Amino acid sequence: MKTTNITFLALLFLFGGVQSLCAQGSQEDGLPDRNKQLCTTHEAMEAYYEANPQAKAEHEAREKFTQQFEQAHSTTDNLGKPTAAKYRIPVVFHVYGGATHTFWGKTVTKAIVVGALADLNKDFQGLNDDYGTVNSAFASLKSPLDISFELALKKPDGTATDGIDWKTTTGAGYGNGSGYDSEVAADAWDNTKYMNIYIVADLYNDGSSTNSGVCWYPDVSMTTAKTARLVYNGQYLGINTTKEFRSVLSHEAGHFLNLAHTFDTGCNGTGDGVSDTPLHSSTSLGCPTSQTSKTPISDCGSWQVNTENYMDYNGAFDCYKMFTKGQITRMTAALELNDNTRRPLWQQSNLIVTGILNPTGINSDDNFANSIRVHPNPSNGIFQLEMTLNNQGNSKIEVSDLLGRVVCSKSISNVNGEFKTTIDLNDQSKGIYFVSISNESSRKTIKLINE
User: Coil, helix or strand for 317?
Assistant: helix
pLDDT digits (tens, 9 = 90+) for 370-397: 567 888 888 898 988 887 776 556 778 8
Spatial distance between the Cα atoms of 337 and 201, rounded to a whole number of angstroms: 33
Domain 41-350, classified CATH 3.40.50.300, yes or no? no
Spatial distance between the Cα atoms of 90 and 222, rounded to a whole number of angstroms: 18
> Can you tell me the mean pLDDT for 48-67?
75
Residue 292: pLDDT over 90: no
Spatial distance between the Cα atoms of 365 and 412, rounded to a whole number of angstroms: 17
Catalytic residue among 150, 244, 252, 308: 252
Burial class (CB in 10 A: 0-12, 13-18, 19+), 163: buried
Q: Are 267 and 278 in contact (CB under 8 A)?
A: no
* In the chain, where the domains are located: 2-27+370-450, 41-350
**CA distances from residue 415 to 15, 64, 160, 391, 412 in whole angstroms, order as listed:** 11, 55, 21, 5, 7
Measured in whole angstroms, how far is the alpha carbon of residue 220 from the centre of its chain?
23
More confident residue, 17 or 132: 132
Q: Which amino acid is at 125?
A: Q
Residue 403: pLDDT over 70: no
Non-local (6+) Cβ contacts of 446 within 8 A are 372, 374, 377, 434, 435, 436
pLDDT band at 418 (very low <50, low <70, confident <90, very high): confident
The reply to whether 50 belongs to the active site is no
**CA distances from residue 247 to 60, 124, 163, 172, 251 in whole angstroms, order as listed:** 29, 10, 20, 22, 7
Architecture of domain 2-27+370-450: Sandwich (2.60)
Lowest mean pLDDT among 12-26, 147-161, 175-189: 12-26
DSSP H helical segments within 218-259, as ranges?
220-224, 248-256
100 secondary structure, DSSP code = T
Burial class (CB in 10 A: 0-12, 13-18, 19+), 388: middle
Residue 20: pLDDT over 50: no
Cis peptide before 378 (omega within 30 of 0): yes
The Cβ of residue 103 has, within 10 Å, a number of other Cβ atoms equal to 26
Non-local (6+) Cβ contacts of 333 within 8 A are 65, 66, 69, 70, 73, 258
Lowest mean pLDDT among 33-42, 84-93, 293-302: 33-42
The predicted pLDDT at position 9 comes to 33
Spatial distance between the Cα atoms of 104 and 395, rounded to a whole number of angstroms: 36
Mean pLDDT of the chain: 80
274 secondary structure, DSSP code = -
pTM above 0.85, yes or no: no
Question: Nearest Cα to 163, choosing from 118, 221, 126, 214?
Answer: 118
**CA distances from residue 220 to 202, 319, 337, 375, 446 in whole angstroms, order as listed:** 27, 34, 11, 46, 36
The predicted pLDDT at position 304 comes to 79
The Cβ of residue 24 has, within 10 Å, a number of other Cβ atoms equal to 13
More confident residue, 71 or 253: 253
Q: Which residues of 268-298 are buried (b: 16+ CB within 10 A; e: fewer)?
A: eeebbbbebbbbbeebbbbbbeeeeebebbe
User: DSSP letter string over 22-70?
Assistant: E-----PPB---TTS----HHHHHHHHHHH-HHHHHHHHHHHHHHHHHH
pLDDT band at 98 (very low <50, low <70, confident <90, very high): very high
Lowest mean pLDDT among 23-37, 239-253, 410-424: 23-37
> Can you tell me the mean pLDDT for 88-92?
97
